Amino acid sequence: MELLAQIPLIGGTLAVVVPFLVVLSIVVFVHEYGHYIVGRWCGIKAEVFSIGFGKVLWKWTDRRGTRWQVAVLPLGGFVRFVGDMNPASAGHADEGDLTPEERKAAFHNAGLLRRTLTVAAGPCANFLLSVVIFAGIILALGAPSNDPVIGLIGPEAVEDVGLEPGDRVLSISGQEVADFGDIISILARTNGVPQSAMVERGGDVRQITVRYHRIPQIAQITPGMPAARAGLLSGDVFVSIDGAPVNSYRELQLIVSDKLHGAEIEIEIDRDGERLAFRFVPELVMRQHPVTDEKVLLPTMGIRGTALAGIEPEREPVAIYRALGGGVIQTWSIISGTMIYIGDMVFKGADTSQLGGPIRIAEISGDAAKRGFSSVLWLIAVLSTSIGLINLFPIPILDGGHLMFYAVEFVRGRPVGEVWMRVGTMIGLSLVLLLMVFATYNDLVRL
């Protein structure tokens, strides 16, 4: 992508647009292929499998009579089954135009179970893709070892950290170290003050000086907590709380834990060079006190900092079943976090500026491409989960809307009428367009 960025005049745009189109095309293809392959297994014939909309740039017809095509506007895709009135499978065309063989393979003539499986297969394919990618990343990277051995010193570590990859830490400031967790636990309390440590390096035991500093940056937002509702984002760096400067994550923890219960706080953060202010009331949560280690009710914003501040443990191989389990957990965490955020928006007035549209996704795709292939894979997995979940919302025109109609059909014993189907589709299309406009508006305001 660096090569694209060097193209005069348009290089910067291409470095953002190309990764975005690649990521989106992969996610869309997997979603639509889920519909296609399960439909085929259920005896439903697909007429068209399209990536993109509008004028067709390339097409090919396979031996089953399905036309595979790539269209000029690559912002989605569709599978049109035999008998569909449109790509959204909302209503069906006149059967008089179909041969007896086509009627038998038409989508609307398939049984309720076969139609349900075909529609649900799209989001399920997205979830499966996410699980596989997350599991693959876990397999490739391995699991963190708890041995007190330094595996990697990352770029976020301070320059004079003192430790080197391969060091086995024996003690810090006279405190014996039993595992890697002890290293981080002891150093986290030092707040950047240099400490004496004993390490085994290259077969020799030596005394060194180590320094550990966690910048007051948000690495993760807990859905449903005050910080998420207020509109804080991952990557935000704290500047001050109630006017008191914040220089480290340790200071941030100490300042917040000392606040009065139920008191509103005013924070200032740095977001990509821009200073922003927020006011909200932290929520009381039972957690470990940063000084005494006792579990008590403390004011909590609902954020997490960079856990290791650049000091990474060694990694060890992971069994496939553990990696798959980790993939499922990661996929579910995205789903549950999204649902909590939506609930907060609807019922608790959470900040809606976090909703992003195509421009925001394109920016994130470009950033991921700069960081490397693994970051792009991670983005594909996250976006795949999100698209799968959104498609399950019970909005006509989305897969969830079709499943809602099928649930009504199951209860009533007969399909929803064509008129209601078309009205629902128009309402669903309007809602989706409004959401897209709102998300794009957020993108433009941010820019």
Which residues are tagged catalytic? 32
| Residue appearing with tokens 């922003």 | 276
Rounded CA-CA distance 247/179 in Å is 28
Helix (H) or strand (E) holding 382: helix 373-390
Residue-by-residue DSSP string for 92-106: B--GGGS-HHHHHH-
CA-wise closest residue to 246 among 269, 276, 263, 229: 269
Tokens of 83: 């008998």
Q: What is the DSSP letter of 84?
A: B
| Residue appearing with tokens 């008089």 | 96
In the chain, % helix, strand, coil (3-state, to 5) comes to 45, 25, 30
Rounded CA-CA distance 49/77 in Å is 8
Determine how many CB atoms are found less than 10 A away from the CB of residue 371: 12
For residue 11, the Cα-to-chain-centroid distance in whole angstroms is 27
Tokens of 38: 């399960």
| Residue appearing with tokens 């893709």 | 129
Rounded CA-CA distance 262/253 in Å is 17
Q: Give whole-number Cα distances, 180 to 22, 150, 185, 315, in Å.
A: 39, 8, 9, 12
Rounded CA-CA distance 105/40 in Å is 9
Could you tell me if 144 and 313 are in contact, meaning their C-beta atoms sit under 8 angstroms apart?
Answer: yes
Determine how many CB atoms are found less than 10 A away from the CB of residue 217: 19
